[in-house]
């Protein structure tokens, strides 16, 4: 199950893509029963859909789904940023800034998949620094649902450059110990990403 989830989170499996039980069995060297149980769990988590009389497919997110997800993301991640500023130890702070440098290099490369992988690592460090395992668990599920939307946002126009600059501002606020300022900048970052993914005008700060 974890292998399939990671394929979706990384963007290697795209929204609407059908999952072949036979191919998954061969690729993962497991039984059909194991694949079916994994699919039922992933359906419960929202990663895939299993329409009646059809095989499983990666969940397609509607515009309203996207708005709901970004709204939840805003609340979750802004809280995480505040906790990180207040709780992260020096080693984890250094790790976040290093992850940021990797992320910026990925953004400069223009490779969407590389950007998504770098973002996933950045978030792993961010949530580790909160010291809240429940928050980190919820974030992992959320980011899986957002994988396709993130790819859509980053593939549009100058969004990768703007995203990079926004995250740099957030890191500067974190370095300054400004938890509310960092959370406010992160809120605008998420709203800009949502507007880009949905093809809407950015929400004013």
- Give 4's pLDDT tier (boundaries 50, 70, 90): confident
The CA angle 161-116-29, to the nearest 5 degrees, is: 165
Q: Report the alpha-carbon distance of residue 111 to residue 6 in Å, rounded.
A: 18
Query: How much is the pLDDT for 83?
Result: 96
Q: Could you tell me the pLDDT band of residue 131, with boundaries at 50, 70 and 90?
A: very high
pLDDT category, 180, cuts 50, 70, 90? Answer: very high
Cα–Cα dist 163/153, whole Å: 10
Instruction: Specify the pLDDT at position 152.
Output: 66
Q: From residue 105, how far is each of 12, 50, 112, 189, 199 by CA, in Å?
A: 20, 38, 12, 18, 26
| Percent of the chain whose predicted confidence (pLDDT) is above 90 | 39
pLDDT score for 168: 95
**Dihedral over alpha carbons 66, 69, 75, 78 (to 10 degrees):** -70
pLDDT tens per residue, range 56-113: 998 888 889 889 989 999 999 999 999 999 999 999 999 999 999 999 998 888 787 7
User: In the chain, pLDDT over 70 holds for what percent of residues?
Assistant: 91
The predicted structure's pLDDT at residue 191:
93
Q: Say if residues 118 and 109 touch (Cβ distance below 8 Å).
A: no
Query: Is the per-residue pLDDT at 170 higher than 50?
Result: yes
Kindly report each contact of residues 132-139 with a partner whose C-beta sits within 8 Å and lies 24 or more positions away, as own/partner. 132/80, 132/83, 135/76, 135/79, 135/80, 135/83, 138/76, 139/76, 139/77, 139/80
User: Which tens digit of pLDDT belongs to each residue from 186-205?
Assistant: 999 999 988 888 887 555 44
Q: Is the pTM of this model over 0.85?
A: no
55, 91 Cβ separation under 8 angstroms: no
In the DSSP assignment, the letter for residue 48 is E
How buried is residue 91: exposed, middle or buried, by Cβ count under 10 Å (0-12/13-18/19+)? exposed
Give CA–CA dist 108/84, Å, rounded.
Answer: 26
Q: What is the band of 127 on the pLDDT scale with cuts at 50, 70, 90? A: very high
For residue 14, the model assigns a pLDDT of 78
| Percentage helix, strand, coil for the chain under 3-state DSSP, each rounded to 5 | 75, 0, 25
Q: For tokens 């990403």, what's the residue? A: 193
The more confident residue out of 99 and 162 is: 99
């Amino acid at each position: 199950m974890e292998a399939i989830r990671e394929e979706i989170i990384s963007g290697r499996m795209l929204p609407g893509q059908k999952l072949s039980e036979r191919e998954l069995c061969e690729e993962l060297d497991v039984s059909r029963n194991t694949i079916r149980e994994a699919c039922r769990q992933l359906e419960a988590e929202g990663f895939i859909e299993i329409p009646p009389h059809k095989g499983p497919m990666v969940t397609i997110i509607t515009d309203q789904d996207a708005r709901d997800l970004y709204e939840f993301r805003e609340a979750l991640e802004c809280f995480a940023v505040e906790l990180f500023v207040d709780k992260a130890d020096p080693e984890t702070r250094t790790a976040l800034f290093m992850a940021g440098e990797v992320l910026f290099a990925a953004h400069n490369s223009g490779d969407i998949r590389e950007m998504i992988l770098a973002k996933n690592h950045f978030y792993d460090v961010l949530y580790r620094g909160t010291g809240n395992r429940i928050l980190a668990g919820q974030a992992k599920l959320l980011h899986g649902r957002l994988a396709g939307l993130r790819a859509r946002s980053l593939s549009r126009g100058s969004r990768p450059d703007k995203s990079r600059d926004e995250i740099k501002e957030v890191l500067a606020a974190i370095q300054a110990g400004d938890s509310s300022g960092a959370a406010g900048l992160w809120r605008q970052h998420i709203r800009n990403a949502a507007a880009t993914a949905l093809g809407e005008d950015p929400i004013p700060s």
